Amino acid sequence: METTKIKIPENIQITITGPIIKIKGPKGEIEKKLLNPHIEFKIENNELVIICTNKKIKKENKMFTNTYRAHIKNMINGVIEGYIYRLKVCSGHFPMTISIEKGYLLVKNFLGEKVPRKAKIIHGVDIKIEEEIITLNGIDKEKVGQMAGRIEQSTRITGRDKRVFQDGCYIIEKAGKIT
């Protein structure tokens, strides 16, 4: 049996109901469904224990327990500190304008296009636009990262030379790491 332990910080509350794990902290609450028939979660001595009950496959058991450990650590870090992603708006010839309307982030005048490009805003992600920097804040690392990817993909250039046409929104900081 493969087991992994995660120490629970003092200001965090974890509740387990079957495959659903809820983590509550100073910045908010995250709920995630981690479903695997061979994985069980228990809280013992202020530690979250991930137990794999399948005795046959050892590599796969270790893989699943380590994956779930990483997900839970990201959730704990999110409710304590939160995650910040930053994107830089780069426009050469045509000045782009970024705005938020009706649940969408709109990129207007991208390469002189008349129709604005859209990126649907994910629930739980706060967006701040300051001149050339777009800042994304949230407690769920996956949602904040997905929103940053959506914005970057919405301004992707196809059919043109990327060395010449460098307009777009590019991720410059991911969860505290500068790219």
Mean per-residue pLDDT over the chain, rounded: 89
State which fold the 83-178 domain adopts. Answer: Outer Surface Protein A; domain 3 (3.90.930)
Tell me if 94 sits within 8 A of 150, measured CB to CB: no
The yes-or-no verdict on residue 101 having pLDDT over 80 is yes
The yes-or-no verdict on residue 36 having pLDDT over 90 is no
pLDDT, one tens digit per residue, over 125-155 is 999 999 899 999 999 999 999 999 999 999 8
8-state DSSP, 9: P
pLDDT band at 179 (very low <50, low <70, confident <90, very high): confident
Question: Which residue would you say has higher pLDDT here, 75 or 60?
Answer: 75
**Across 73-82, 86-95, 110-119, 162-171, least confident range:** 162-171
Tell me if 79 sits within 8 A of 23, measured CB to CB: yes
The boundaries of every CATH 3.90.930.12 domain in the chain are: 2-80, 83-178
Q: Region 31-48: what's the mean pLDDT?
A: 90
Q: Region 160-171: what's the mean pLDDT?
A: 82
Q: Region 10-38: what's the mean pLDDT?
A: 91
Q: Which of 118, 134, 121, 117 is CA-nearest to residue 173?
A: 134
CATH number of 2-80: 3.90.930.12
Amino acid 37: pLDDT:
85
In order of 15, 16, 30, 34, 155, the CA distances from 25 in angstroms are: 12, 15, 9, 19, 35
